[in-house]
């Protein structure tokens, strides 16, 4: 359990994190989403006690990170897989970490086995691919068998097989009742893994909901209806439910604010034939874009506008 309360962090003039409050609960994978520069990494550093908050508080297992008696047994984190000393072997790298946590040498072999790096344990990590470095970072995070795990953009640089492996690892870890926070700037990445999402933009919390609620809240959700009696159906829908209906010609309707079952029932009651009745669920990507539109820090000019100048 991670509890963030009114957390703010200022770097000079820039407010990187702006009065954030949320809980990260055990048992599910929580996606931590936001455009680049939204404050995700800063928040993670604040959770880990690497940076001192300007105001507010954050606790892990009800304690401030710096006060945890055995931090590695409580929290495992992977912030930047490339931030390692390239001249050490994978085994040496995990060895100093294991010692820092007070864990036996055999634990190093166990986690190397777990992430599939046992065969390259003696090789220098500087020569590892980004994917292998991500796996090494996972191994480091898992050394202390912690209840809480934080991952910052963990699938960057992974091949498809690695991405699948990471997703299953996260799900498995959450299934064991652990608290998992995974950040990403790509919504699509979370669709498969996260059950809960926190969305931030410009350091502020924009949404804290389950992934289902998240999609539903998006205004993009609607039902696509095709009927030879579209005009009659339109007036019925407007009368009975007051839903928003837009016609796109040729008997096609786009209906918002009502589900397929209700539309089907109304049509049947009045003997209106339907040729198509399809729910159009907005993708998470769309919902995410909509939510963060206002808070994207660096945005490209629309192409047409640029060319026009």
Partner 1 sequence: MTSVPFAATAASEWTKLTSLRSTRIVAALSVALALAATTVGAILTGRSWDSWGTAARADFDPTVYPLIGGIFASILLPILGVTAVTAEYSTGMIRLTLTATPRRGRLLLAKTSVIAAATMLVGLVTVLGMFVIGQVVYGLYGLDAANFGDGGTLRALLGSIVLAPVFPIIAVALATLLRSTAGAITTILVAIFLPSIVGSLLPDWWRENVVAVLPGPAIDTITISHLTDVESSLPTGVAVLAVAAWLGAFLGAAQLAFVRRDA
Binding site for partner 1 (CB under 8 A): 45, 48-52, 65-66, 68-75, 77, 79-80, 82-89, 92, 95-97, 99-102, 140
Give the shortest CB-77-to-partner 1 separation in angstroms: 5
Which CB, 2 or 190, lies closer to partner 1? 2
Give the shortest CB-180-to-partner 1 separation in angstroms: 16
Residue 20, CA distances (Å) to 52, 234, 244, 293 in order: 15, 44, 35, 19
Which CB, 54 or 221, lies closer to partner 1? 54
Which CB, 84 or 241, lies closer to partner 1? 84
Give the shortest CB-58-to-partner 1 separation in angstroms: 13
Which CB, 148 or 215, lies closer to partner 1? 148
Which CB, 117 or 255, lies closer to partner 1? 117
d(Cα 70, Cα 61) in Å, to the nearest integer?
Answer: 12
| Residue 263 neighbours by CB under 8 Å, 6+ apart | 223, 225, 237, 255, 274, 277
Give the shortest CB-157-to-partner 1 separation in angstroms: 16
228 neighbors 251 (Cβ within 8 angstroms): yes
d(Cα 66, Cα 49) in Å, to the nearest integer?
Answer: 6
Give the shortest CB-307-to-partner 1 separation in angstroms: 40
Give the shortest CB-38-to-partner 1 separation in angstroms: 19
Which CB, 135 or 222, lies closer to partner 1? 135
Query: In this structure, are strands 252-256 and 244-247 parallel, antiparallel, or unpaired?
Result: antiparallel
Give the shortest CB-123-to-partner 1 separation in angstroms: 13
Give the shortest CB-249-to-partner 1 separation in angstroms: 57
Which CB, 75 or 180, lies closer to partner 1? 75
d(Cα 227, Cα 277) in Å, to the nearest integer?
Answer: 9
Which CB, 122 or 302, lies closer to partner 1? 122
């Amino acid at each position: 359990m991670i509890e963030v309360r009114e957390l703010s962090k200022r770097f000079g003039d820039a407010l990187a994190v702006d009065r954030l409050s949320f809980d990260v609960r055990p048992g599910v994978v929580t996606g931590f989403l936001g455009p680049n520069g939204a404050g995700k990494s800063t928040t993670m550093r604040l959770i880990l006690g690497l940076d001192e908050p300007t105001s507010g508080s954050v606790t892990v297992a009800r304690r401030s990170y710096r006060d945890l008696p055995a931090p590695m047994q409580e929290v495992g984190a992977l912030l930047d897989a490339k931030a390692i000393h390239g001249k050490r072997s994978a085994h040496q790298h995990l060895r100093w970490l294991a010692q820092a946590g007070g864990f036996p040498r055999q634990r190093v072999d166990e986690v190397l086995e777990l992430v599939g790096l046992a065969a390259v344990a003696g090789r220098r990590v500087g020569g590892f691919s980004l994917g292998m470095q991500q796996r090494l970072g996972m191994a480091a995070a898992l050394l202390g068998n912690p209840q809480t795990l934080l991952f910052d953009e963990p699938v960057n640089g992974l091949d498809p097989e690695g991405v699948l492996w990471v997703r299953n690892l996260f799900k498995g870890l959450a299934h064991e009742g652990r608290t998992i926070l995974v950040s990403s700037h790509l919504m699509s990445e979370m669709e498969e893994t996260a059950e809960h999402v926190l969305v931030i933009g410009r350091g502020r919390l924009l949404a804290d909901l389950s992934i289902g609620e998240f999609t539903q809240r998006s205004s993009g959700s609607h039902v696509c209806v095709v009927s030879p009696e579209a005009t009659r159906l339109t007036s019925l829908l407007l009368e009975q439910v007051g839903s928003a209906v837009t016609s796109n010609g040729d008997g096609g309707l786009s209906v918002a604010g009502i589900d397929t079952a209700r539309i089907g029932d109304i049509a049947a009651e009045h003997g209106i034939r339907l040729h198509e009745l399809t729910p159009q669920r907005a993708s998470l990507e769309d919902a995410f874009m909509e939510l963060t539109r206002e808070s994207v820090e660096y945005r490209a000019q629309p192409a047409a506008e640029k060319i026009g100048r």
